[in-house]
Amino acid sequence: MRVRDEEKVQLVKQKALESLVQDGFEGFSMNKLAKACGISVATLYIYYKDKDDLIISIGQEEGDKMADAMIKNLDPKASFEEGMRIQWQNRYAYVMANPNSYLFFEQLRTSTYQVKFLESFMKKFKGVISEFMHNVVANGEIKPMPLEVFWSVAYAPLYSLIRFEREGQSIGGKPFQMTDQILWQTFDLVIKALKN
């Protein structure tokens, strides 16, 4: 039995992520991946059972990294505004530093892999965020609301700005470049909306 070469494993993950983002799940194949890595297809099957195993494995590993990044320095006992500011900073920094991972997550979110991905991702993320949210509601900083309502108001504006930044344009093709002023002006409006 051949031993796993960790350098090859990292190369496979990097090339798989690039290919998945560029070609989507439909255009992705183990043969293309092996060729991009300069290895045999048989070598891929030493590391992964099949295409699904590879995609789920990368999704879980990247999801763990993203979850860690999102809750970095977040004290569950922080005030609502302070905790949300940390999350916005963390989310924005993560997406800007890991554009392929972010685009991959967007693909996972609308695929049959979503359940497997979220299962792993939520384990790490949910505990800290749940405690934070419980505390800010208990302290009367915000009112209880369905998760979907909270997320739509709390984070959707950030991800819209990120999409505009990535595409270099906003609605109607108007050139767009993110600035700290735009980011934090949007944040202030979100906090104001959620506190009312």
Q: How far apart are CA 172 and CA 178, in angstroms?
A: 17
Any bridge partners for residue 175, and if so which?
Answer: 169
Q: Work out the pLDDT band at 121, boundaries 50, 70, 90.
A: confident
Burial of 66 (0-12, 13-18, 19+ CB in 10 A): buried
Q: Mean of the pLDDT values across residues 3-11?
A: 82
Say whether pLDDT at 2 is over 60.
Answer: no
Q: How far apart are CA 155 and CA 84, in angstroms?
A: 9
Domains by residue range for the chain, with CATH: 1-48 (1.10.10.60), 61-194 (1.10.357.10)
What is the separation of C-alpha 102 from the centre of its chain, rounded to a whole number of angstroms? Answer: 5
Q: Work out the pLDDT band at 3, boundaries 50, 70, 90.
A: low
Whole-model pTM: value is 0.87
Q: What angle do CA 55, 59, 63 make, to 5 degrees?
A: 175
Q: What is the pLDDT of residues 141-162, one digit of tens each?
A: 999 999 999 999 999 999 999 9
Q: Mean of the pLDDT values across residues 21-44?
A: 94
**Position with higher pLDDT, 114 vs 91:** 91
Q: What angle do CA 80, 84, 87 make, to 5 degrees?
A: 145
Q: How far apart are CA 132 and CA 135, in angstroms?
A: 5
Q: Which two tokens stand for residue 37?
A: 């890595």
Longest dimension (CA), the chain: 62
